[in-house]
Structure 1
Amino acid sequence: MKILIADDHSVVRKGLRLILEEEYPHSQIDEVPDAVELLKRVAKDTYTVIISDITMPGRSGVEIIKEVKEHAPKTPLLVLSVHAAEEYAVRAIRAGASGYLTKDSAPDELIKAIEYILKGKRYITSEIAELLADSYGDNLDKPAHECLSNREFEVMKFIASGKSISEMAQTLSLSVNTISTYRARILDKMHINTNTELIKYAIEHKLV
């Protein structure tokens, strides 16, 4: 079995390696530190399973999942993120992830999730199942940020975290003008007028 770990924190990668080597002693485990290297690796190698964060240098958000799935549509991808399920899980699953766990999950749950997705199933916790069900409910009941595209959602989180337009442009590999366009579109869709209001909204909805 070939496993690819993608995370920008070396401590996380090494911790995952220890867990996986104990459970799958004869497997080949590769590591990459960012999204660019992740995409390069999946473009040239075939893996049995990929375990990846979704907020890494070079690329960020669920767009990473979509790009990985373009290169490796049949390879199950498990997202292991510091972000709570309500922030990214539904978007990640819809983008093609086979499962979503937070980094405070127990090692046993990680292995359980891997076993599920290796069988071609999706690993959906009860919390994520409820979020998925809610996401198909009445649009009138949805919070304003649910109307954003994946890229707009990512930019919104960066704005709410206090990043400058130039910082966002560099992180997302986009032009300053493009980021400014996204910002205007986000404020319009969410019926918000200023960055301050957006930050307040993000805090109230536990998005930052």
Structure 2
Amino acid sequence: MIRILLADDHALVREGLKQLFSLTTDIVIAAGVTNGMQVLKTLSTDVFDVLLLDMTMPGVSGTDLITRVVTLTPHPPVLVLSMHNEPQIARRALAAGAMGYLTKDCDPSTLLTAVRRVAGGGRYIDPVMAEFMAFEHQDKQAAGGHQHLSNREFQVLCLLASGKSVNDIAQELSISNKTVSTHKARLMEKMSFSNNAEIVRYAMDRRLIA
């Protein structure tokens, strides 16, 4: 039996996945959590075959959380299930240590295949996403200049675009306001942004935020 730790802060998503996996005979959601700290706490007390992880949750999340998970001994393979279909986000998640990446609009059969593949020690990327990633280099403009940002700068960009203030971001990432401001200044310089409205417009155009 494949035991899943499900990490997603949306109740409807958690309930839908429970119903999907209940139709199988080899997969079960053994525990569910809604934020990054709960992920780390649960992994310290129990063993799972797969961590099915949303990229955007309260507190520590995204690549930061993946990096922390994969340093644990033991740790389950991480399969990302995200609303983001932007290749650069998937690339960063995989580079941080995720073993698979799917978007939430994938077919149920694709998700089941991915869970079984990752639980068995393999890797899985949704075929459509894999195609986008393979041909990303042919359209740098569409891929966006954010590919040149550091992981932290990219994270700050997405949080700013979602409407969070410097203080909010500092609290969520457990870093100082000054550090957030430094990351913001660097990303705005790299991206040639002059104000927050340009950050929001850029992120929405490239579906970096919902």
TM-score scaled by length of structure 1: 0.87
Q: Is the 8 A contact 1:160 1:195 kept in 2?
A: yes
Q: Secondary structure at the match of 2:204?
A: helix
Counterpart position of 2:76: 75
Q: Is the 8 A contact 1:85 1:101 kept in 2?
A: no
1-side partners of 2:134 and 2:105: how far apart?
A: 24
Counterpart position of 1:118: 119
Task: Give structure 2 stretches of 5+ with no counterpart.
Answer: none
1:119 Cα offset (Å): 2.5
Query: Do the aligned partners of residues 33 and 206 (structure 1) sit closer, same or farther apart at CA in structure 2, a change above 3 Å counting?
Result: closer
Counterpart position of 1:194: 195
Number of corresponding residues:
207
Counterpart position of 1:179: 180
1:205 Cα offset (Å): 2.7
Counterpart position of 1:57: 58
**Of 103-112 and 71-80, the range deviating more from structure 2:** 71-80
Instruction: Give percent identity, aligned residues only.
Output: 41
Query: Do the aligned partners of residues 63 and 139 (structure 1) sit closer, same or farther apart at CA in structure 2, a change above 3 Å counting?
Result: farther
Counterpart position of 2:206: 205
Output the aligned Cα RMSD.
Answer: 2.4
Query: Do the aligned partners of residues 24 and 63 (structure 1) sit closer, same or farther apart at CA in structure 2, a change above 3 Å counting?
Result: farther
1-side partners of 2:192 and 2:115: how far apart?
A: 41
**Of 36-45 and 139-148, the range deviating more from structure 2:** 139-148
Per-residue CA distance 1:47-72 (angstroms, 9 max, x = gap)? 11111111111113221111111115
1:150 Cα offset (Å): 1.6
Task: Give structure 1 stretches of 5+ with no counterpart.
Answer: none
1:104 Cα offset (Å): 2.2
